[in-house]
Amino acid sequence: MIENTKEVKDKDFNIKRSAEEIRNLSFKDHLCIGCGICESTCPVSAINLGDIGAIVRTDSQNSKLSINEGKCVLCGMCSGICPADALIFSIDSQPISKISSYPKYDAYAEIDDDKCIYCQKCEIACPREAITIARSLPDRSKLVTGEIDINEEICVYCGICEEMCPADAIDVDRTPESESIRVNKDKCVYCLVCKKSCPVTAIKAACRICSYGDYDINMEDAVTKGSSFIDDELCIKCGWCEGVCPTDAAKVKKPFEGTLTIHQDKCTVCGTCVDICPCDVLSFPKPSKSGEIVNNVAKDEQYCIRCGACAKACPVEAIEVQVTNVDYTPTKSKSWIEKFEALKN
Amino acid sequence: MELKVNQDNCLGCGVCVVACPVNVSISPEVSGGHGSLNEDVIMMVENGFIKLFNEDKCEKCGTCQMFCPVDAIWLE
Amino acid sequence: MPKHIASGLKYLATIELKKKGLTQQKIAEELGIDRSTVSHYLNGRNLSWNSIAVARTMTELCPKDFLILTKVLVKDAKKAQKIISTCQNKDFEAEVLDSCIGCGLCVDLCLMEAISLESLKANVDSVGCCGCLLCQEGCPTNSIKILEVNNDREY
């Protein structure tokens, strides 16, 4: 008979069926957001979502998901419907996201390098640390112009200019009998602090920009260059990058539309939802002035992906997540369409 | 996962009783530190030690474990 | 003995193909046997009538038993498939419901290799189907119905 094999490595696992074709389902625990969509989708009830609250908040060795390999028929529905790519189903090593007959979410996150100014705000805001913005700054020496000269006959090598220099451009060797002073012109910004602070007036310096303006500066040299990278595996299309981007370079399309409702009267402020939310949507609000009464839990709905992980984990059912629309690529399979449509509630 | 207690470690401080969101929703007075008025809550301090009354009500959120100062209550 | 019964099955298949009007050469190719063997069968030479009787009984078993016994007796999978589909005295049609999830379990279960997946749905080739019901029994969503549409094929 045909049997599945299971390979477990730490909290991750692979379930495989080898026949004419090799069907493989692999689970990556670190990507799982604990939404439980796979559990409710599985047509053979082979998936069990763990106690996500306890698993995320304590140093539990438990995996967020367990799959009964005896029940699993390797249909791949859990993988197709996982909004976090934590379950990857492949046929002959080809993931179903690359096979056109399988539906997948119509969702993306991208950064337009032509608009990006490499401010790194998205990298800092991304709750999944999925973004890397690499940047190379312009040469400082090309953005300033001036002259500096030190008269060593007058200089007493006191080192005051070295200590004062904000650009770390002056080196003073104060060893008796072998004293010296050097200015690194690649670092000097001609701010004239050294000249002003020199107690013996040994420094002559002038900033040309102060006198003549930016004529000597080629503005192309002043541009910060760089590149952006979004790790598609980690990204959950929450929209933080788009929300914080000052130049509209980041664009995000979420897979779901819907609503998030917090019943403040039921909430007991345990913080489970705050710790679980993969999108940093939920937080404990801080009063703006003393004595102000604030909500138990605050939400920043703009970044909610309606995954429902918070509602599932809330021990007192104080959160409701409604999905009103799901965007997925077309498929001919009625049963797959039914499962995607069932996400709406 | 199951809720476990170790009375040998317990200081009887009652932090878990107060922090537990299910306890608070069953008996709101526990959040004020008054202690529960009934035995419907998950856990209570009895004779200076933590005791489980209704562990089947536990939703496994891990809050008690996070707040316990001495590892006397945990999920495993 | 098993070899003799396998020969009996090949004899029955030879007769069946001859009825369809195939040449001896063609029959030999189809069944993967020597042309001289085909000639012996058709001329009633060197036959073990006992084995043929057993083989004929096998074809009258329920399709699943016929399939599995033939698979055991005829080691080569392709030859076994050919013999089963030739000697099968019933025709089957499959109905695949929309509840099919495209798990491909039936594809892997079908010993006749008569099932493929098309657009995440099982597609059963009724010519290859031997009516064993292995797919129907194994389907996790009960989405396959195998229907016997004709059982009066005569030898």
In this complex, does chain C touch chain B, defined as having at least 3 beta-carbon pairs under 8 Å apart?
no
Residues C108 and C72 in one domain: no
Q: How many whole angstroms separate alpha carbon A324 and alpha carbon B7?
A: 48
Same-domain pairing of C73 and C103: no
Q: Which of A60, A266, A313 sits opposite B61 (nearest CB)?
A: A313
Say whether residue B1 is in contact with chain A using an 8 A CB cutoff: yes
Q: What is the mean pLDDT of residues A272-295?
A: 93
CATH of the domain at C115: 3.30.70.20
Closest approach of chain B CAs to the CA of A145, in angstroms? Answer: 58
Nearest-CA distance from C145 to chain A in Å?
Answer: 17
Residue B67 has pLDDT above 70, yes or no: yes
Give the end of a domain, one of C21, C43, C77: C77
On whether the CB atoms of residues A273 and A310 are closer than 8 A, the answer is: yes
| Beta carbons of B75 and A56 less than 8 Å apart | no
Residue C85 maps to a domain: no
pTM: 0.86
CA distance C146 to C107: 14
Domain count, chain C: 2
Point out the residue among A21, A43, A102 whose CB comes nearest to the CB of C141: A43
Alpha carbon of A51: minimum distance to chain C alpha carbons (Å):
27
* Nearest CA-CA partner of A278 in A241, A250, A257, A306: A306
Of A17, A19, A75, the CB nearest to C102: A75
Which pLDDT band, with edges at 50, 70 and 90, does A178 fall under? Answer: very high
Q: What is the pLDDT of residue A198?
A: 97
Could you tell me if C40 and C104 lie in one domain? no
Do A187 and A139 meet the contact criterion of CB atoms below 8 Å apart?
A: no
A44 contacts in chain C (CB < 8 Å): 140-141
- Domain range spanning residue C13? 2-77
Range with the poorest average pLDDT among A159-168, A285-294, C112-121: A285-294
On whether any CB of chain A is under 8 Å from the CB of B65, the answer is yes
Same domain? For C68 and C118 the reply is no
Give percent helix, percent strand, percent coil of chain C, each to the nearest 5.
Answer: 50, 15, 35
B30 pLDDT exceeds 80? yes
In this prediction, residues A284-302 reach a mean pLDDT of: 92
* Torsion of Cα atoms, A52 then A54 then A60 then A63, to 10°: -20
As a dihedral over the C-alpha atoms of residue A127, residue A96, residue A48, residue A336, rounded to 10 degrees, the angle is: 110
Contact A271 B60 (CB under 8 A): no
Contact B63 A60 (CB under 8 A): no
User: H helices within A261-333, ranges in order?
Assistant: 272-276, 309-313
The Cα of A43 is separated from the nearest Cα of chain C by a number of Å equal to 7
Residue C137: partners with Cβ closer than 8 Å, 6 or more residues away = none
| Strand (E) or helix (H) holding A15 | strand A12-18
pLDDT in tens, A132-154: 999 999 998 999 999 999 999 99
Q: How many CB pairs under 8 A join A and B?
A: 63
- Taking alpha carbons only, the member of C114, C134, C132 closest to residue C124 is C114
Q: Per the domain annotation, does C138 fall within a domain?
A: yes
Distance CA A120, CA A127 (A): 14
pLDDT digits (tens, 9 = 90+) for C31-90: 888 898 989 888 888 778 888 899 889 988 989 999 999 988 988 888 889 999 888 878
A333 touching C (Cβ < 8 Å): yes
Q: Residues C65, C96: one domain?
A: no
Same domain, yes or no: C45 and C111: no
**What does the pLDDT look like over A181-216, one tens digit per residue?**
999 999 999 999 999 999 999 999 999 998 888 888
In 3D space, the residue among A249, A274, A277, A10 whose CA is nearest the CA of residue A128 turns out to be: A277
Mean pLDDT of B42-53: 93
Give which of A268, A269, A297 to mutate to test B binding, by max B Cβ within 10 Å: A268
Domains defined for chain A, CATH in brackets: 5-98 (3.30.70.20), 140-220 (3.30.70.20), 254-326 (3.30.70.20)
- The last residue of one of the domains, among C16, C51, C77, is C77
Report pLDDT for C149. Answer: 86
User: Residue A38's pLDDT band (boundaries 50, 70, 90)?
Assistant: very high
Q: Which domains does chain B have, with CATH numbers?
A: 3-75 (3.30.70.20)
Amino acid at A165: C
Would C83 be classed as within a structural domain? no
A57: which chain B residues are within 8 Å (Cβ-Cβ)? Answer: 61-63, 65-66
Closest to C98 (Cβ–Cβ): which among A74, A77, A335?
Answer: A335
Contact A144, A153 (CB under 8 A): no
Local structure of residue A138 (DSSP, 8 states): P
Same domain, C73 and C98: no
Identify the pLDDT of residue C20: 87
CA geometry: angle at A35 spanning A34 and A41, to 5°? 120
